[in-house]
Structure formats: C-alpha cells, structure tokens
Amino acid sequence: MLRFFASRLLQSLLALIIIITATFFMLRFVPGGPFTSEKAVTPEILRNLEAHYGLDQPLWKQYFDYLGSLAQGDFGPSFKYPNRTVNEILADKLPVSLELGFLSLLVALLIGLPLGILAAVRRNTWVDYVASSFGMVGISIPTFVVGPLLVLALAIHLGWFNASGWYSPIDRVLPCLVLGIAYAAPISRLTRGGMLEVLSQDFIRTARAKGASELRVVLRHSLKGGLLPVVSFLGPAIAGILTGSFVIETIFQIPGIGREFVNSAFNRDYTLVLGTVILYAVLIMALNLAADVVQAWMNPKVRLEA
Amino acid sequence: MTRRFLFLALATALLVGGCKPRDTATPTAGSTGAGAGSRVLHLGNGTEPQDLDPQIVTGVPENKIVNALFEGLVAYGPNGQGTIPAAAASWSISEDGLIYTFNLQPNGRWSNGEPVTAADFVGSYRRILNPKLASEYANKLYPVVGAREFHEGKLQDFSKTGFKALDARTLQITLKRPTSFLIESLKHYAWFPVHLPTVEKFGGLERKGSAWTKPGNLIGNGPYILTEWAMQQRVIVDQSPTYWDRAALRTDRIVFYPTENIETEERMFRTGQLHKTNELPLDKTDVYRREQPESLRIDPLLGIYFFRINLTRPPLNDKRIRRALALAINREVIVEKVTRQNQKPAYNACPPMESFTSPVRLTGDLAEARRLLAEAGYPDGKGLRPIELLYNTSQNHKKIAEALQQMWRQNLGVDISLVNQEWKVYLDSQDTLSYDLSRAGWIADYVDPNTFFDLWRTGDGNNDTGFSNAEYDRLLEEALGTSDQAARRAIYARMDAILMDELPIIPLYFYTRTYAANPRLQAPPNLVETPNYKFIYLRD
C-alpha cells in the first residue's frame, strides 16, 4: 500500500516536471508574445517591457528562474493583469470553479443515479425508455446549446433568474443545472449498465429466493457493485468538470478558472498559462489516484499495486 | 437509508440556499433595469480590465473605468465632442503655439481630500516617462520638450523637460514644435495624473502593477471612487465626496461588468441586468431594428476597416494590380448585406471628423480594373498565382473575406485563398510581413487626422506594409508643425491622395459602434469611446 503511494507520487512528480518544461518552451515558440498588440509599441518601450519582466534574459535562465520561484510556491506576476500575481488569480478563482464543479456533480449524481437505477430495475418498460432517452439527449446536446435555451426560458421569459453572473446563491442554479445535466446523462447510462450486470448474477437470485424485498435487493446487494463503472468514470469526470467548465463559465460569465485557462493562452500570459496548467495537472493526477483508491475499496478484485 | 437521507439533506440545502434574497447591487431579473429614481448605472464593459492605473493600461474597457476614477486637464463636452475644462479650469496657448499654461481647478481635490497640484501632474509625467516603468503609452507625451529623450534614457535631468509647475495651481507645458492636436490628445488617459504618495506606498513609482489600484488603496482625482473590483465579475465606482464638480453628477454609482461573450451580454440586457451593452451581436441587430428600435443605438466611431497589402511581395508590389483589386470591390454591398450596422463605405484612408473631411475619393470602375490587370500581364486573372487573404479568426471577418473572395473572382477572375489565424499569430504575421493581403482595423486614440496618417510613415511600428514614401513622410512632419488649420487640412488631403494612388491599403468601411441601451439612458456618442460621466445618466 505504502509502496503504491510512493511510486504513484514519484510518477506524478516526473510527469509534472515534463508538463512544466513542455508548456514553458512550447509557449515561447508560439508566434506573438504577451506584448504583441494591434497598436504596436515602439522598440524602446518593448525593450523596457521585456526588461521589466525579465524576458530579455536567455531562455534557459528564465526557465531555471521560473523553476526556482516555483519551488518556493511563487507562480510569478501575470502579464495580462499587472496588478495581480498568478497566485492571487488562482486563489481567487479556484474556489469558484470548485463550487461550480461540486454543485454540478451533486446535480449530476442526484439526477443520474436514480434514473440509472430505475431504468435497470424497470428494464424494458417505459421508465427505462424515458431514462435512456434522457441519457442519449443529454450526451448529444452540448452545454452551449442547453445553457442559452434554459436562460431563454427561465431567465428571459419567466424572469426567475439572472441571465448570467455569480453574485448571489440563486445565480448558481442555472449553470450548475446545465453542467450537471451534461454529466447526469453518462452517469445514468453507466449506472444502468452496471446495475443490470449485477442484477443478473446468482447472488441476487439467492437474495430474492430468500425473500429479500426489491428495495433491499437494490440498495443492499446490487448498488455497491453496480456503481463500480460510475466510480471509475467519476475520477476523470470530476477533473473534466473542473477543467472543462470553460464553456459554462463563458456562457454564464462565471469568474472561474476555466476561462483563465483558455484566455491566458490567447493572451500569451506565460505565467498564468503555466499556473493553470500546473494546477490542472495536479488536480487530474490527484483525482485519478483517488478514483483508483476508491475502486480498490469497493471492488475486492482490484489490488493497489505499484 | 443514510445515503438517501444525505441526498435529501443536500438537496434541501441547495434549495434553501437558492432562495436567499439576491444581491441588491444587481438589478432584479425580469425588471427593465433599476427602478425609477435609482441613480445606479449598470454598464457592459467588454473585457476584464487589465489594471486601473492610467499610466499602465492600454484598452477601451480600461479607458471607460479610468475616466470615472481620474480626470485629465480637459474633457469632452456635453454632446460627446468639443473641449471643456476638467482638472484645468482654464488654459492659454502662447502665440507661437509652443507654451501651454494651465490653471488648475481651485477646488480640485484627490479622493483623500488633498489638493490636486501642478506638481502632481509634473510628477505623474515623470513617472510615465520613466523607462523602468515601461508604460506602453508613454510616447503620447513625446511632443513635449525632452520627453522622448528622458524616456529613452538620453536625458537624466527631468527639470530639463518641458513640464513645469509654476506654482501649486499653474502647470506649464512646453512643446518641441507647435502640435495642433495637443489639446485633443490631453483627453487620453496617458495624460491623467496619479497620486504619487499612494503609488509610492504600494511598491514604488517604478513598479508596474502594484496593489495601489485595488479598492481601498486607489486615490484618484476623478468624479468617482473605486468601491469594489471583483475580477471577472464587476467593478463598482461611487461618487467621490471630494470631487470639485460633484453637483454636476447625475449618477451615484456605476457598475461595470466584464462581458466577453457578447451573446451573454445581450441576454443580460434582456433580463434587465444591464442598462447598456458594450456590443451587439450582428444577427441581433436586425431583430432589434424590427422589434425594439428604441433600444438599438448605432454611434459613429472614429475608425477604419481596411486591408493591408504586403508591398514587398510580387505580384502585389505592382500598383496596377493593387488598384484593380481596390476598384473591384462593391463596398455598398459589403456594408448593406454583410456588416449591416450602418457602417459607411470607405473610399479613402481617413474617416471624416469635425476638423477634417478628406476630399479624396478612390474612383474608377470595373472596366478600368480589368484593363489594369490585363496591363500588368494577367488578363482576366490568367497566370496570376492565388493570393492569400489573411484575417484573424472571427465570424464577422470571415463573412467579409468570403464576400471579397467572391467579388474578386467574379469581377477580375482573381483567385483568393482565405487564411485565418489566431489573434496573436495573425499580429505576428502582419508584423513580419508574412502575408499577401491582411484584414486590419484602426480606431483613433484622439480626434485628429494625424492618428490615421501617422500609420503609414516609413518604418512606423504599425505600418506593416513595407510602404515608404519620402514625400509622404515630409508632408506628415509639415502637417504637425502647421498651425493654420486650412493649410493643415490641405496637407492631409495631399497625403490621402498619395495613399489612394499608391494603395498600400485597401479601405473598406468606416466603423460604427452598435449596442443596446435602455431608452432612458442619456449617453452622448463619442468618436473615440472616451466617456464624460457628467453627461451619462438615466433620464427620469
């Protein structure tokens, strides 16, 4: 067990260094820089700017300087937002994305799990067909269509919500619903599949034969095994919700980290790109590790091995 | 069972949380803006401001907020044009046009109550010209004696520059040579003063982007003070209690929203979250025209949409081919069918403004275009290699490029291939002359023809065409030193004629600014999008 964690940690660290190095150099080889703008600055001003941010140093020195400050937990200043450091921006926005992600996940599970279970239990009845259709529709229609449609209906026509923003609790409802639905669909399908497999097994027949109620069969005997595919999906899905919230954040004007992740690349905000990439890399690694651990706990057939 | 209970509890928590009263600073959804009598403005403001330090920022969204927090020497008048006193109560210009003397407002105060002095202005100019600050707009001050030399590090002693505080209330600025647009350019935020003790306190005068521009720290001399700045959410400013002309303000609070996604912004307007949007999606313009024309506004904007031509690459180094291309465009069709926001077709290089309307007009018909192409050796486009048309990735630019592609193919038989690039890659391609034809736009920084003609000076950082004409460069210098307005206009007309003869660019149309606004909103159109908040308010 300990060896498993030590080895995973080492692997992750190595991967992280490769990611940082690749991002750092790839960014520098992309045409255009942080100070490229439609209204060109004079060569003198450009020189001053580069000196101000240390971009006049040789690239290898900049790289090691960056690694040095990174080791001290300093992500450096943002090029695009001069009066903010990357640390400040990440600290400001990560909680927003976490909140959005957590609430959406909750919505996804609240809708997806019951639908999947119901569909499996009432297999090939109208309940199953409705649930499966929801799954198909939810997977097929992207959030940038569902989002504006819900805004149109609930915000503009009914006037229940603001069209966008992240100011008061009620502003959380629409974006979390939209993002939640997008993930509820695959969850319901995976739950249905997992449950069906477990429900057809011998021990379930035994439980039924012994007179266990349907509710008990489902909740007590099948759920743990039936949810396995969902759990292995959840690790990458949570990472996906956190990193892939760009569209939702843009549609609803949410001050989360997904927008910075995308916009910083357009702005050639070198330090902010690196900051968001590192953050996401760490998140994804941690979540995958967590998914592995949870799976091992739920399924005795899986062992944690280095 | 506990699992179900947990879900239930969480669901309840979510519902209860969702029912809390909403933030009072946001207008309620479904209403049409803040209620009558309320003096709060909610404005869509484009992107998130980079910073609020007038000596650091460079964009239009920043300009709109900075103009609430700071005040220059002069400002735009009630109709969005002309010049009225601001931080300067009055001013005089010497006979030779070299010495400008400003008398500051006797009651001018910073938001911490300290008087605004001439020394504050001089100190601010010293800061923006400090090479270590690396201000991108420092060159706006170059007309002043010694400014450029100080900024380039060739002059160390700032007292040798043309900025002088004669006494606490008198500021004197001495120019290298008469510069007829100086008063206009003073309305640009590069000329605004900053409160040096505050800047000093938060990291020093040479540090770019310190915490001095954060709420609670920021001291300004403008009509409003910074109350809140939540990144990617909103910036709130409230009336400054110390502003000298507070009685003239008809709005108590302004909330600026970053609105990067213009579809979202339009929906915010429809739910009443905004009194004014920053833009309006093209396909919504016709809907507004039809269904709520009272909310649709189309203001003139001092800018030009054009195509740069790379003069260093054959075959476009041949003037005849450039002229053939320029003549074979139906600009009326472009503005009526493609851009559709009342843009004006452009037949010259400088949009019309109060002080200058160019008499030059690109004229010629299709027959001439075909003849020129044949003369150049490519009758009906035969033998001509496909020409690349570069644009930055955007739906609107794409539509225009496709229309041009079709017109040139139909009218001249010329084959155009479209190339789109991400914004900064595109800028880099332009800068390194790696293109044939490139879509471009230019919005003026101040209302004067110089801002448009300066672009095509030999070696100018924005030229990016390889265009170089000694006579043109000479005329540009001559115009700067000419104080007689009629003579100056004549020089600019001659320069315009050179451009329309040489055609380093193909002008397409002059910009407009299209947005949605509450019918009660009073907001005089300004050609360079520089607001004067004294004249922006909701009518009762």
B94: left (phi over 0), alpha (psi -120 to 50) or beta: beta
Q: What is the pLDDT of residue B38?
A: 64
CA distance B482 to chain A (A): 25
Q: Which of B18, B56, B271 sits opposite A170 (nearest CB)?
A: B18
Tell me if B48 and A81 make a contact (CB, 8 A cut-off): yes
Per-residue pLDDT 10s for chain B (540 aa) are 344 444 444 444 433 333 333 333 444 433 334 444 469 999 999 989 999 999 999 889 999 999 999 999 999 999 998 999 999 999 999 998 899 999 999 999 999 999 999 999 999 999 999 988 888 889 899 999 999 999 988 999 999 999 999 999 999 999 998 888 899 999 999 999 999 999 999 988 988 888 999 999 999 999 999 999 999 899 999 999 999 999 999 999 999 999 988 899 999 999 999 999 999 988 899 999 999 999 999 999 999 999 999 999 989 999 999 999 999 999 999 999 999 999 999 999 999 998 899 999 998 899 999 999 999 999 998 999 999 999 998 888 999 999 999 999 999 999 999 999 998 899 999 989 999 999 999 999 889 999 999 999 998 888 999 999 999 999 998 998 887 889 999 999 999 999 999 999 999 999 999 999 999 999 999 999 999 999 999 998
* Cα distance between residue B441 and residue B260, in whole Å: 19
Q: Are A54 and A47 in contact (CB under 8 A)?
A: no
Q: How does DSSP classify residue B278?
A: S
CB-based contacts of B263: which residues, under 8 Å, 6+ apart?
A: A148, A251, B281
CA distance B535 to chain A (A): 28
Tell me if A45 and B53 make a contact (CB, 8 A cut-off): no
Range 92-121 of A in CB contact (< 8 A) with B: 92-93, 103, 106, 110
What is the residue-wise DSSP string for B411-471?
Answer: HH---EEEEEE-HHHHHHHHHTT--SEEEEEEE-SSSSTHHHHGGGSTT-TTT-S----HH
* Cα distance between residue B192 and residue A134, in whole Å: 58
Range 197-226 of B in CB contact (< 8 A) with A: 208-214
Tell me if A81 and B462 make a contact (CB, 8 A cut-off): no
**Residue B378 CB burial class (10 angstroms; 0-12, 13-18, ≥19):** buried
- Whether omega before B315 lies within 30 degrees of 0, making that bond cis, reads yes
Q: What is the pLDDT of residue B1?
A: 35
Tell me if A81 and B230 make a contact (CB, 8 A cut-off): no
In 3D space, the residue among B222, B102, B288, B270 whose CA is nearest the CA of residue B530 turns out to be: B222
CA distance B460 to chain A (A): 8
β-partners of residue A42 are none
pTM (2 decimals)?
0.87
Q: Which of A36, A43, A163 sits opposite B268 (nearest CB)?
A: A163
- Region A199-216: mean pLDDT is 82
What is the residue-wise DSSP string for B97-140?
Answer: S-EEEEEEPTT-B-TTSPBP-HHHHHHHHHHHH-GGG--TTGGG
| C-beta neighbour count of B398 within 10 angstroms | 15
In 3D space, the residue among B73, B68, B194, B61 whose CA is nearest the CA of residue B128 turns out to be: B194
Q: What is the pLDDT of residue B158?
A: 95
Range 306-345 of B in CB contact (< 8 A) with A: none
* Cα distance between residue A231 and residue A291, in whole Å: 7
Q: What is the pLDDT of residue A19?
A: 95
Q: Which of A49, A159, A169 sits opposite B29 (nearest CB)?
A: A159
Q: What is the pLDDT of residue A4?
A: 81
Q: Are B480 and B450 in contact (CB under 8 A)?
A: yes
- Whether omega before B504 lies within 30 degrees of 0, making that bond cis, reads no
B433: left (phi over 0), alpha (psi -120 to 50) or beta: left
- Region A290-301: mean pLDDT is 78
Tell me if B136 and A49 make a contact (CB, 8 A cut-off): yes
Judge whether A36 is closer than 8 Å to chain B, CB to CB: yes
* Cα distance between residue A228 and residue A183, in whole Å: 16
Judge whether A173 is closer than 8 Å to chain B, CB to CB: yes
Chain B residues with CB inside 8 Å of A41's CB? Answer: 136, 139, 461
Tokens at B492, concatenated = 């600019």
Tell me if A167 and B441 make a contact (CB, 8 A cut-off): no
Q: Could you tell me the sign of the dihedral formed by the alpha carbons of B70, B74, B76, B77, in that order? A: positive
Identify the band that residue A305 occupies on the pLDDT scale cut at 50, 70 and 90: low
Q: Are B191 and B144 in contact (CB under 8 A)?
A: no
Q: Could you tell me the sign of the dihedral formed by the alpha carbons of A165, A166, A167, A171, in that order? A: positive
Pairing of strands B253-257, B296-309: unpaired
* Cα distance between residue A148 and residue B442, in whole Å: 33
In 3D space, the residue among B86, B48, B88, B53 whose CA is nearest the CA of residue B69 turns out to be: B53
Judge whether B273 is closer than 8 Å to chain A, CB to CB: yes
User: Which of A29, A83, A157, A262 should we substitute to test contact with B (largest number of B Cβ atoms within 10 Å)?
Assistant: A83
* Cα distance between residue A157 and residue B364, in whole Å: 52
The whole-angstrom distance between residue A288's C-alpha and the CA centroid of its chain comes to: 12
What is the residue-wise DSSP string for B312-339?
Answer: TSTTTTSHHHHHHHHHT--HHHIIIIII
Q: What is the pLDDT of residue B203?
A: 85
CA distance A216 to chain B (A): 10
Q: Which residues of A76-93 are buried (b: 16+ CB within 10 A; e: fewer)?
A: bbbbbbbbbbbbbbbebb
CA distance B511 to chain A (A): 16
Tokens at A229, concatenated = 């595919």
Q: Could you tell me the sign of the dihedral formed by the alpha carbons of B122, B124, B126, B128, in that order? A: negative
* Cα distance between residue B270 and residue B516, in whole Å: 9
pLDDT, tens digit (0-9, with 9 covering 90-100), for A5-28: 888 889 889 999 999 999 999 999
User: Which of A154, A162, A270 should we substitute to test contact with B (largest number of B Cβ atoms within 10 Å)?
Assistant: A162
Alpha helix stretches (DSSP H) within chain A: 2-29, 43-52, 59-71, 86-121, 126-140, 143-150, 173-199, 202-209, 214-216, 223-226, 228-243, 246-251, 257-267, 270-298
Q: Which of A110, A159, A160 sits opposite B7 (nearest CB)?
A: A110
**pLDDT beyond 80 at A122:** yes
Q: Which of A93, A160, A266 sits opposite B422 (nearest CB)?
A: A266
Share of chain A above pLDDT 70, in %: 97
Chain A residues with CB inside 8 Å of B151's CB? Answer: 44
Q: What is the pLDDT of residue B31?
A: 37
Q: Are B143 and B182 in contact (CB under 8 A)?
A: yes
CA distance B327 to chain A (A): 27
Judge whether B20 is closer than 8 Å to chain A, CB to CB: yes
Judge whether A150 is closer than 8 Å to chain B, CB to CB: no
In the predicted model, what is the mean pLDDT of chain A?
A: 87
| C-beta neighbour count of A211 within 10 angstroms | 7
CA distance B446 to chain A (A): 14
Range 54-93 of A in CB contact (< 8 A) with B: 77, 80-84, 89, 92-93
**pLDDT beyond 90 at A296:** no
- Region A159-174: mean pLDDT is 90
CA distance A139 to chain B (A): 23
Q: Are B23 and B29 in contact (CB under 8 A)?
A: no
Give A233 or B418, the one with higher predicted confidence.
Answer: B418
* Cα distance between residue B386 and residue B417, in whole Å: 6
Chain B residues with CB inside 8 Å of A89's CB? Answer: 231
* Cα distance between residue B211 and residue B218, in whole Å: 8
* Cα distance between residue B292 and residue B434, in whole Å: 45
Q: What is the pLDDT of residue B18?
A: 37
Judge whether A255 is closer than 8 Å to chain B, CB to CB: yes
The whole-angstrom distance between residue A273's C-alpha and the CA centroid of its chain comes to: 17
- Region A267-276: mean pLDDT is 93
Q: Are B72 and B116 in contact (CB under 8 A)?
A: no
The whole-angstrom distance between residue B513's C-alpha and the CA centroid of its chain comes to: 11
Chain B residues with CB inside 8 Å of A160's CB? Answer: 29-30
Judge whether A28 is closer than 8 Å to chain B, CB to CB: no
Tokens at A165, concatenated = 């923003």
Tell me if B424 and A51 make a contact (CB, 8 A cut-off): no
Chain A residues with CB inside 8 Å of B21's CB? Answer: 168
Look up the ipTM and state it.
0.85
